[in-house]
Amino acid sequence: MKSLLLIFFCASIFVQPVRAQQESASLIQWYSNLQRQAIDETIEKRLKEKQQDLQQAAEMHDDSARIFLLVESGMLQAASYKYEEAIDVLLKALNQADSDGSTIGQFYAYLSIAHVFSETGNKEKGLQFLERADALAPGLNQSDHLAFVLNALGRAYASIDSIADAFESFNEVLKLKEQLQYPVLEAEALSNLAQLYRRQKDYTNSLDYFKQALTIQRRERKRQEEGELLNEIGALYSMMNNRERAYANYKAALEVFQRIDYKKGIAEAYNNIGEYYYDQRNYAQAIANLELAAMAGQAANSKEAMLNSYEYLSMAYKALNNFERALHYKSNQLNIRDLIIEEGNNQKLLEKQSAYALQQMEVEIDRLERVKMDRERELAEQKRIQRYLYGMAALGIVIAVLILYLYLLKRRSNKQLKVINARIEAQNVQLQTLNNTKDKFFSIIGHDIKGPLNSLTSFSGLLINHFEALSKEDIQTVARDLDKSLKNLFTLLNNLLEWARSQTGNIDFTPAPFDVVEVLNQNKELLHAQAAAKEITILHEQVSPMMVTANQQSITTVVRNLISNAIKFTPANGVIKLSAEQSGNEVIVSIADTGVGMSNTVKEKLFRLDAKHSTPGTANEKGTGLGLILCKDFVEKNGGRIWVESEEGKGSVFYFSLRN
């Protein structure tokens, strides 16, 4: 029954993928959890629910759902020992799946039919249908499906003593373990291998595989399976005459079953512990555990567990010479055994009654298979004819397209020549513009480098020719002037290099989020000494971060140039104020100074290479003329804009925007 229900619930897995379209591996795991809920429900109730679901699927014309509802109904019929009805329903599912071309539906129909034949003793026929399911599994592109059917095949091979084939099937599952979304399938294969090794009395390998399976079930928090494996390991230690290890595993199994209140497992664990104490001749402890096992077996309605409990209770009381209690439990044992035999006979009778009908249905199954093969041959022939017709049609289309192509090619060539000529003209204009820009650029270089170099030449000549006539104070003055000229030259060269790198595309302007307030703070600290030398105060009181998306290095260059520019044109005791404010979906950064300001005529020349403008600072600092041009280039390449507000004698405010 347990094996039947396992197949049933795995077959019913795919009712939900049709409706929810979720990953099959996740649904296998989900339905494994639902398995215990469904076991607690009566089969008749489940059958009524499936009939209602089938009616609803028919009304909605949902053939996919109908396939798997039929599979589930068929397995419920099999669980009720109504094998003839089960096969009839499963054949409908197979026929519907075949008509719809549903490979997954055929897979689970074959799997379910295989189980029904195995339950009625026709293991060879069951194996045939498992092999058909196995042949379909690779086409499902889900390793979990393949692993599931390989486990089923291995158990089927083991049941007919084909041990080598069983080993091969289970080991194939282990080869798939890295691809499995549901690791419990690997644990099942390991447990199946352990049982095969135990069957061959290879207890060492059996124990190793049981422990590997236990590790996985614990990791996956499958408590019932964990308890069952602990019982198996305990029994194996008992076969190996390691009674203490056997007892330890039985106790561990009992604790697991008690945590999940699994009565049948509790009964089995107490029975195992009772047998351990009986073998130790500790009859009082044996009786205490066996009576608890009998109570749990009654609660679980597990006749096998009760039979075992009553047998050992009778023997334990007999060993204590309490023949009255021994006779009482012996009587209970015989009653339970008679009941089990009667149920077994009834089931066998039911199986025999269904055997003839199933043999008749085998003819129908074979007919369906022949129809399927004929349909597949017809489809293959139709596809061949279709491919031929498609080929002829494609050839005609190719010829027509070729003629049209040759006609259009000529027209396109003429248009392309016109476009190319227009592009060449545009490129000529662009090249002329670039050539003019180059001339202006070299003019700036010649003009701006000439000034600092002339100063350096004059100062060095003064030092060389009049060193002895100069006082210490004169030399210090000349040195300071030399330092200013060198710094101006360094600033010019730095801006030239940055601008050149920008124009040649060697600067990466990849945007990334950063805090612009932090950039303002860093540059404030960097230029503090330069401002202090002119007794200028730089103010920036913002603390809260303000994130923007741009290239941080290029924006740092912009801020540094603008602050340096403000220091240059602000007199002693002046103030420079830095700020960043949110405005819609952008941030506006401003650098305001209390410097000399500028006229509208000067403002119009800013940011332009063709109207390069440079004014000495309040301390007669030399300008490069490229700083603001570089700022404009960097801001625009970061998707922003830059502008200035200024009045002569009232200072200037430079603004630039950045995206959030």
pLDDT (tens digit per residue) in 478-525? 777 677 667 666 666 766 666 666 666 556 678 999 999 999 999 999
Q: Are residues 472 and 594 in the same domain?
A: no
Residue 297 lies in a domain: no
Give the per-residue pLDDT at 641.
Answer: 94
In this predicted structure, the answer to whether residue 143 has a pLDDT above a threshold of 60 is yes
Read off the CATH number of the domain in which 484 is found: 1.10.287.130
Question: Is residue 294 within 8 Å of residue 306, measured between CB atoms?
Answer: yes
The answer, yes or no, to whether residue 250 has pLDDT greater than 60, is yes
577: left (phi over 0), alpha (psi -120 to 50) or beta: beta
Boundary-marking domain end, from 455, 475, 507: 507
Instruction: Domain of residue 604: give its range.
Output: 510-659
Task: Please report, for residues 28, 104, 146, 349, 532, the alpha-carbon distance to residue 64 in angstroms, rounded to integers and kept in the order given.
Answer: 18, 10, 21, 36, 81
CATH of the domain at 617: 3.30.565.10
Q: Which of residues 460, 480, 507 is at a domain's end?
A: 507
To which H or E segment does residue 575 belong? strand 575-583
pTM beyond 0.75: no
- Rounded Cα distance between 646 and 601, Å, is 11
Weakest-pLDDT range from 199-203, 474-478, 528-532: 474-478
Residue ending a domain, among 137, 159, 181, is 159
- Of the candidate ranges 194-203, 241-250, 564-573, the one whose mean pLDDT is the lowest: 564-573
Q: Are residues 468 and 587 in the same domain?
A: no
Binned at pLDDT 50, 70 and 90, residue 112 comes out as confident
* Domain total of the chain: 3
CA distances from 21 to 25, 71, 136, 139, 634 (A): 12, 18, 20, 18, 50
- Separation between Cα atoms, residue 513 and residue 114, nearest integer Å: 61
Is residue 396 one of the residues assigned to a domain? Answer: no
What token pair was written down for 41? 């429900």
Task: List pLDDT tens digits, range 594-621.
Answer: 998 888 888 888 877 665 555 555 555 5
Q: What is the pLDDT at residue 616?
A: 56
In a domain, 205, yes or no: no
Judge if 572 and 561 occupy the same domain. yes
Q: What is the largest CA-CA distance in the chain?
A: 137
Kindly provide the b/e burial profile for residues 285-294, where b requires at least 16 CB atoms within 10 angstroms of the residue's own CB. ebbbbbbbbb
